[in-house]
Amino acid sequence: MADNKKYYYLKLKDNFFESDEAIILESMPDGYIYSNILLKLYLRSLKNNGVLMFNDLIPYNAQMLATITRHHVGVIEKAIQIFQQLRLIEILDNGAIYMTNIQNFVGQSSTNADRMRESRRQLQMLNKCAPEIEIEIDKDIKLDIDINKEIHSELNNSAEQSSEYVFPNWLNQSSIDELKKVSPKNYPIYIPIQYLNQETGHAYKFIATHTKFIQARYKEGYTLEDFKKVIDTKVAQWKNNSQMAQYLRPKTLFSPSNFDSYLNEVPNHSQPVNNDNYPPLPF
């Protein structure tokens, strides 16, 4: 059987270390150590779509990460805390670490693809042909290629689409400015997250961990106004309730087990905190 192993690599832009997050990291005491740890975590997560897992069941803990990055446990724990504050990582419910912007850096190739590229290069040199544009389609990544084609097509018209899109009048200008940083085709998916941020002061990012719930509800026939109603209802009930405010998050509000029941609730004023030790859970 021909060797066709796949391997992954980081595709870092030349201004990677000019980002706000990188500058903040390097300005800290031991900042270059944190940058080193961050790059090692990116590399370790590549084959698992940005999630740091030792295997299918066990996530990496601080001690394990200290071993593979060759740094002290205390340094790793401090780095994880800083990465969370900068929203470079997210701790998932199972304890795994998700590198939030990993999809911007993932490169993928294979030994067979490399051989094909080398053969074509040699053929071009022999025939003194002008360079050709290579297009190699791997069945395993066909979906990614199709998505990239759609994105490329939309980039040419993104400014026009953004100017034509009519944002809901319940979004403030700050939220609209934030949404204009993304592709217009994603506005319907990202608006519920941004509106939740607007109403709660949170800063949830437009990542798959959150958007998967919104896409699923759209497929079930719910509308953008339905998302607004759920957010308005639960913010009115929970925002000023210290025990319940933690559940004002995409996972809770937009999950299949909660969304329809929240949608059919009658909005009311903030609920008082219960005097007993057992506050009602949002499930």
Rounded Cα distance, 66 and 77, in Å: 9
| Average pLDDT of the residues in 259-280 | 65
Query: Domain for residue 154, yes or no?
Result: no
Give me the number of domains the chain comprises.
2
Q: Where among 115, 142, 169 does a domain terminate?
A: 142
* Residue 112 sits in the same domain as residue 33: yes
Nearest to 98 by CA among 88, 86, 108: 88
Residue 277 lies in a domain: no
Q: Check residue 120 and give its pLDDT.
A: 63
Q: Would 110 be classed as within a structural domain?
A: yes
Residues 178, 128 share a domain? no
Q: Is the pLDDT of residue 151 over 50?
A: no
pLDDT computed for residue 133 by the predictor = 44
pLDDT at 48 over 70: yes
The answer on 2 and 136 residing in a single domain is yes
- The verdict on residue 117 lying in a domain is yes
pLDDT at 259: 94
Which residues are CB-neighbours of 267 under 8 A, at least 6 positions away? 229, 232, 233, 236
| 211/79 same-domain check | no
Q: What is the CATH number of the domain that holds 55?
A: 1.10.10.10
Mean pLDDT of 12-38: 81
Question: Domain range for residue 29?
Answer: 1-142
Q: Residue 252's pLDDT is what?
A: 92
Q: Are residues 223 and 181 in the same domain?
A: yes
195, 198, 202, 207: CA torsion to nearest 10 = 30
- pLDDT tens for each residue of 67-120: 988 999 999 999 999 988 888 888 888 888 888 777 666 555 445 555 555 566
Question: Do 110 and 242 reside in the same domain of the chain?
Answer: no
| pLDDT at position 95 | 83
**Residue 280 maps to a domain:** no
Do 105 and 188 reside in the same domain of the chain? Answer: no
**Residue at 3 is within a domain:** yes
For residues 138 and 173, state if they share a domain: no
pLDDT for the residue numbered 183: 87
Question: Range with the lowest mean pLDDT among 1-5, 11-15, 102-106?
Answer: 1-5
Q: Are residue 27 and residue 134 in the same domain, yes or no?
A: yes
Cβ distance 179 to 153 under 8 Å?
no
Token pair recorded at residue 277:
């030790």
pLDDT at 189: 94
Q: Which percentage of the chain shows pLDDT scores above 90?
A: 30
Q: Do residue 73 and residue 205 come from a single domain?
A: no
Instruction: With cut-offs at 50, 70 and 90, classify the pLDDT of residue 227.
Output: very high
Q: What is the pLDDT of residue 143?
A: 47
149, part of any domain: no
pLDDT of 101 reads 73
